[in-house]
Structure 1
């Protein structure tokens, strides 16, 4: 099975899952803002009902993830079996790991069922009867009888390890997430870090999500600050104009705003982005900043846990990226002089 195809299916599932997490997370955050930390037990109040809406949405995180992956593999016939198996994985505590495995088993089983050579009278019943019943029954029984328990144990091990991290271990994990976010700025490595953080968010571990968000915000903001400080001494006119767009993009957690700079000068921009993002994400994890929402940038900071620490870490990471770029980037004047020196040397070449 091709790794790129697997990643495509996973990212499709995540793309369907994220709106569910956003809706649920924001509702729960709003409820806590108006109802306090114990809003979940304040029955009969408006904040309590808002929290209930958010909690209801979070129940469907794994089912929607599973259905999205199954849909990517087997198209429309995979949606209903995916929802069913996703709910089963939630019920037996197999979580996102179980949901992902169930989706792939379902998807390829459904594709095999599609190839069965049935009489014409029965073919019309395949998508509404045979496929959902057979696939849900076989994979569902497999999870209840064999697969569910070991996956649930593995899930508990991962979650307990995440929750047990303290001090330096938290900083290191955050640093790894941040460095991955800042390395290819929206590419496969960045998306891998996002997938891990979104999976942790689905299991109500909220620290990695804050690390992910800040890791994606630092590169464009750090580049913008570097251009603001250095100006036309180290950046050409086109880069100065592009940097203006980096500010809103960075604030909105759109890491791709840094791509033009990374493409034109990868040996300087990528290390600066990685280091700045790693420090900021490490600090966020160390300071126990949390986010119940996977996207939104500056707009979701007010509903984060410890938002002041998030903003402080963002400032530190941005300054680090800008400082490294300021040190590494040569001035344009030096570049011109080097070019002129090279042209003079070329003019002295002896031709036979």
Structure 2
């Protein structure tokens, strides 16, 4: 019975994780577009939000993207669960979560609620004449009323209280007290290079960029140490890597500078254990240093392209360099020396192969 329950729970989590990944993929463009435009306006104004003139208008454009990303998260989460009829209820319920100040957790719960409720409504049998009416009227209307009502009257305020409590705790962490958080976030970011665990940590930091910019100060260096570190490793330990991997190392450094952790994936595919361990430790070191030095970032992205909007650039760069070198050295020392295959031997083997023996 216990094993059956565990299997059911694992299946439910797998399904939820799939929908969350879909929704996050749709949400990220809102975060990137809005956050970077807003950060540029803040940078040009001198690290304070402009309210007038050209920079004020630029900040207004960026703020629109940042205002929409939680509704987008909830909307596309409901869309992933219930298809197009879930889109409007998900957006509206997640928007209500923002209004109640229940944050991205409220947005996620709102999207899940809307998707589940609309899926339930879709089980109501309608005659063929009314099926179209159901998709554009019954399901969106019923889903919005039920999910929105639950958010406004029942769960919104408790979630908002929890988010305020969490924000106060994180805001109260200073100096060395932030190091464990930096290690945890860095490890989560490094362990699967853009996968679901990475996305949890990154999304948490990105959704708090306006209230807790030190979280982005941790995420920014942690995201880029993996590809940069592996690229450096191909230069420091040339005999350990194939020519193809050496070429991939150059591309990985460029991707790392742009905050794209997926540049490390080709190395992990070829040598998963060594690369994942090296990535995780290196990103954890970067996160710990960034947390310890009090680094903050006002852009919901990583890499060195966000340096103009980073507070404590020295701490940020130290975290990137230290984390990258740790990854480079761990993977480089641990790897076996690359041995090139003898093409002649392969050709001989092909010639001697007798299909009739099979």
Which interval holds the TM-score relative to the shorter structure?
A: 0.7 to 0.9
Q: Which residue of 2 aligns with 1:172?
A: 180
RMSD: 2.2
Deviation at 1:282, TM superposition (A): 1.4
TM-score by length of 2: 0.84
Q: Which residue of 2 aligns with 1:32?
A: 42
From 262, 266, 291, the equivalent of 2:297 is 291
Residues matched between the structures, number: 329
Q: Deviations over 1:230-285 (max 9, x none)?
A: 222x3333333332222212222232322333343344333322222111111112
Q: Which residue of 2 aligns with 1:62?
A: 70
* Closer/same/farther in 2, CA of residues 256 and 20 from structure 1, 3 Å limit: closer
- Whether contact under 8 Å (2:221, 2:302) holds in the other structure is no
Q: Which residue of 2 aligns with 1:231?
A: 238
Aligned pairs for 1:152-301 within 5 A: 152-201=160-209, 204-232=211-239, 234-295=240-301, 297-301=303-307
Deviation at 1:330, TM superposition (A): 4.7
From 310, 323, 326, the equivalent of 2:316 is 310
Tell me the distance in 1 between the aligned counterparts of 2:199 and 2:272: 19
Tell me the distance in 1 between the aligned counterparts of 2:305 and 2:260: 13
Tell me the secondary structure at the aligned position of residue 186 of structure 1: coil
Q: Which residue of 2 aligns with 1:113?
A: 121
Deviation at 1:296, TM superposition (A): 5.6
Deviation at 1:23, TM superposition (A): 2.1
Q: Which residue of 2 aligns with 1:21?
A: 31
Once the two structures are overlaid, the 10-residue window that deviates more, 214-223 or 187-196, is 187-196
Tell me the distance in 2 between the aligned counterparts of 1:128 and 1:332: 60
From 4, 7, 12, the equivalent of 1:2 is 12
- Whether contact under 8 Å (2:227, 2:253) holds in the other structure is yes
Once the two structures are overlaid, the 10-residue window that deviates more, 294-303 or 127-136, is 294-303
Tell me the distance in 1 between the aligned counterparts of 2:328 and 2:303: 19
Deviation at 1:67, TM superposition (A): 0.4
What residue ranges of structure 1 are gaps of 5+ in the alignment?
A: 334-352
Tell me the distance in 1 between the aligned counterparts of 2:166 and 2:40: 29
Deviation at 1:217, TM superposition (A): 1.2
From 133, 143, 166, the equivalent of 2:141 is 133
Q: Which residue of 2 aligns with 1:142?
A: 150
Deviation at 1:6, TM superposition (A): 0.6
- Whether contact under 8 Å (2:47, 2:309) holds in the other structure is no
* Closer/same/farther in 2, CA of residues 54 and 238 from structure 1, 3 Å limit: closer
The runs of at least 4 aligned residues of structure 1 exceeding 6 Å deviation read: none
Once the two structures are overlaid, the 10-residue window that deviates more, 120-129 or 85-94, is 120-129
What residue ranges of structure 2 are gaps of 5+ in the alignment?
A: 1-10, 340-358
Tell me the distance in 2 between the aligned counterparts of 1:35 and 1:238: 45
